[in-house]
Amino acid sequence: SQTIHQWPATLVQPVGSPLSLECTVEGTSNPNLYWYRQAAGRGLQLLFYSVGIGQISSEVPQNLSASRPQDRQFILSSKKLLLSDSGFYLCAWSVGDYGYTFGSGTRLTVV
């Protein structure tokens, strides 16, 4: 069966510090991978998506970046965090048009 792992679960980082969040998928090949952010009480905002290794599409200009070094690995990074980067970060995968499976999420607080 397919599973998605996302870590860490919670993170408290100071303003200006770097960020690296990792997501891995098991049990499927060539998935579409996504990074979403959910601010408190808000909807999901698509940040990045990837349809293959090294292929990254950015939806929102910001100080975040994403990489896909392996087929089932998706990484979200920042060189310098801002207060506005706080939120609930969700990795998701899909194959075909059957909806998303989300990871358990990372709750990031920038202080």
Residue with tokens 């706080």: 86
The Cα–Cα gap between 88 and 33 comes to 17
Instruction: Tell me the closest approach of the beta carbon of residue 71 to other proteins, in angstroms.
Output: 16
Taking the complex as a whole, the smallest distance from the CB of residue 49 to other proteins amounts, in Å, to: 5
Q: How far is the CB of 109 from other proteins (least distance, A)?
A: 14
Contacts for 57 with CB less than 8 Å, ≥ 6 apart: 48, 49, 50, 51
Nearest to other proteins of 19, 89 (CB atom): 89
Separate counts of helices (H) and strands (E) for the chain = 0, 11
Residues in contact with other proteins by the rule CB under 8 A: 32, 36, 41-44, 46, 49, 51, 57, 59, 90, 97-105
Q: Is 27 left (phi over 0), alpha (psi -120 to 50) or beta?
A: left
Q: Which is nearer to other proteins, 14 or 41 (CB)?
A: 41
Q: Which is nearer to other proteins, 42 or 80 (CB)?
A: 42
Nearer to other proteins, 66 or 105 (CB): 105
Q: In whole angstroms, how close is the CB of 104 to other proteins at the nearest point? A: 6
